[in-house]
Amino acid sequence: MKRTLIFVFLLMLALSAFAGSSSKKGPSSTTPAVHAADADTMRMLGEQRFRANCGRCHAAPQKFPPRAMSTVLRHMRVRATITDEDMRLVLFYMTQ
Amino acid sequence: MGLKLHCRNQKSGFPRRWRKLLPRLVGILLLQCFATGRGQSQVIENEKPVPVVSGTAGFLTSVTAGQTLLDTQINPVLLVPLGDHWLVESRGEFEGQFQRQPGGGAFGGPVDKHLDYLQADYIANRYVTVTAGRFLTPFGIFNERLYPEWIRALQPDPLILPMATASSDGAMLRGGFPVSPAANLNYAAYVSATGIGVNGVESERHVGARLGFFFPHSRFEVGGSWQKALQDDRKNAFGFHFAWQPAAVPLSMHSEIVRSNQGSGYWVEGAYRLSQAQFWQKAMRRTELVAREQQFFSGNISSDEAQSLGLPGAGTRETDFGVNYFLKDGFKAVASYGRQFSSAGDFNQWTFGIVYRFLVPLGREGTP
C-alpha cells in the first residue's frame, strides 16, 4: 500500500510540475487561430464544440444569463473535463 | 448539512505516520499549483461568474414486481466560483420513498438526505485541476456525468452502478486537454484517504485513476478506469467506457463495463431523438426513444453482501425500453418498462414520472 501511495503522489507531483512548466510557454498551438478569428467564426466554432462536448451527456440546454453560464461552464470544465479552449468557445457561443 | 468528522478505526494497513504525511503531500501539491498556475486569462466583467443554485427535482412512480413505490427527489447543486481559478461545489440529495404498508393503508416510508459531494476545485492551468474534499468517484462515466435525473435517459440505475463508485474523501488531480487536432485526453487520479463521515455514511479508502480520449470530429469517447481498495480485501476494480453521438443521426450511445471482486457486468444504452421523423414534427422532435441492455455476474462476495452494496444477489440480466418527452428545456416526462431475469426470480419494472432541471443565479446575471 505504501508503494501505491508513494507512486500515486509522485505521479501527481510530476504531472502537476509538467503541466505548470508547460503553461508558462504560452497558449497551445490552436489558440492563436481562435484569437485571430472574428466573432462569427468563434460562434461557429463555439457551436461545434458545444454540440460535441455537451452532447456527450445531455440534450442541448437553453442559453442562460452570461454570468450564470460562466459558472456552469466552469463546473462543466471540472465535471466533464472539457478543455480550456472548448470552455471559452462554448462560453462565447452561449453568451454572445 | 453538517460535516461530521469521525475518528475511524484505522487498521494496521494504514499506519499513523501516513496519516500525518498525506496532508503534507496534499499541501505541497496545492502550493505547487498556486506557484505554477498563473496562465489563465482574465474574465471580462459581463462574464464574471456568479454563484448558482441548480439541480433536479423529480417525481417518479415505479411498479417493481407488483410493488408500487413513489419516489420524490430534490438534488440541489450549489456552485460558488471564487476568483478566476476556484470553484466550490456541492450536491445534496433529499429523497422520499413511499410504499403502501403491508396489509394496506396509506403510503409511507423514509425520507433520506445526504451529501453527494462537497469539493473545492482549483483550476491550476489548462492541464490540471486540483480537487479536495468529498467528491464523486471518477470511475466510468455514469456516476459523475450521467447520474442526474434530468440527464439520464432511463431512470432506473444500471445494475453495476454501485461497483467502485462509493464517494471519495481526499484529493484528486484531473483535467482535459488536446493532444492532437483530432483528439482530447482527459484524466483523473485520486486518493481517498481520510475518514470524513457525512450523516454517518463513510467513504472508502482507495486510490484510482481514469484515462479517456475524446475525438470531437467523430464525437466518440473511450476510456478506462482503475481503482484499488486500501481496506478490507484490497482488491482491484477495472472499468471501460465509451460514448458516441454520431453527427448524422440524433443518436446517443453510452456503455460501461466493470470487473471487480464484487462482481462484473456491463450496460449499453442507446437514446434516439425522433427529430428526423417526417410526421407530427412538433411532437416528434421532443420525443426520445431509449433502450438499455445490461447484465451482472456475481463476484466473490456473498449474496447478502452484494445486496447490502446495492448489487443484485444473483446473476441478473435486464432489458429496458423507455420514452422521454421534453415538454420544455429541462422539463421532461419519462416512462420506461424493463424486465429482469435472474435465478432469484423474473419480474417487470415500470417507471413513470416527471423531471425538472432548475437553475437560479444568486447575483447579477449580466446582459446577453
Tell me what percent of the residues of chain B surpass a pLDDT of 70: 84
Confidence check: pLDDT of B340 > 50: yes
Reply yes or no on whether the pLDDT at B152 is more than 50.
yes
pLDDT at B69 over 90: yes
Residue of B117, B177, B204, B275 to mutate for A, most A C-beta atoms under 10 A: B177
More confident residue, A16 or B186: B186
Name the residue with higher pLDDT: B276 or B179.
Answer: B179
Strand B107-108 relative to strand B111-123: parallel, antiparallel, unpaired?
A: unpaired
How far is B140 from B262, CA to CA, in rounded Å?
Answer: 16
Nearest CB to B176 within list A9, A81, A91: A81
Minimum distance, in Å, between the CA of residue B219 and any CA atom of chain A: 6
pLDDT for the residue B30: 53
**B205: Cα within 13 Å, side-chain hemisphere:** 21
Q: At what angle do helices A84-95 and A66-79 cross, to 10 degrees?
A: 150
- Cβ separation B174–A81 shorter than 8 A: yes
Nearest to B29 among A16, A28, A91 (CB): A16
Q: Domains plus CATH for chain B? A: 57-361 (2.40.160.10)
**Which residues of A fall within a CB distance of 8 Å from B181?**
30
Output b/e per residue, B155-176; b: 16+ Cβ within 10 A. bbebbbbbbbbbbbbbbbbbbb
Contact A23 B37 (CB under 8 A): yes
Least confident of B72-76, B190-194, B342-346: B190-194
Q: One-letter amino acid identity for A16?
A: S
The more confident residue out of B294 and A21 is: B294
> A65 in contact with B at a CB cutoff of 8 Å?
yes
| 0.90 surpassed by pTM | no
Whether the CB of A41 is below 8 Å from some CB of chain B: the reply is no
- The verdict on a CB contact (< 8 Å) between B359 and A72 is yes
Find out whether A53 and A45 touch, Cβ atoms under 8 Å.
Answer: no
At residue B329, the pLDDT reads 80
* Residues paired with residue B177 on neighbouring β-strands, in sequence order: B185
pLDDT tens for B30-54 read: 555 444 444 444 456 667 899 999 9
Q: CB-based burial of residue A32 (10 Å sphere; 0-12 exposed, 13-18 middle, 19+ buried)?
A: exposed
Residues of A in contact with B180 (CB under 8 A): none
Q: What pLDDT, on a 0 to 100 scale, did the predictor assign at position B4?
A: 37
Q: Which residue of A has its CA nearest to B140?
A: A80
Residue A24 contacts B, CB cutoff 8 Å: yes
Q: Where are the domains of chain A?
A: 31-96
CA distances in angstroms from B246 to B33, B286, B352, listed in the order given: 37, 19, 29
Tell me which chain B residues have a C-beta less than 8 angstroms from the C-beta of A67: 46-50, 361, 363-366
CA-to-CA distance for B42 and B133, rounded, in angstroms?
A: 27
* B171 close to B194: Cβ distance less than 8 angstroms: no
pLDDT 10s digits, B73-104: 999 999 999 999 999 999 999 999 999 887 77
* Backbone dihedral angles phi then psi of residue B18, each to the nearest 5 degrees: -70, -35
Burial of B253 (0-12, 13-18, 19+ CB in 10 A): middle
Cβ distance of A4 and B33 shorter than 8 Å:
no
Residue A17 at interface with chain B, using a CB cutoff of 8 Å: yes
Cell of A78: 471540472
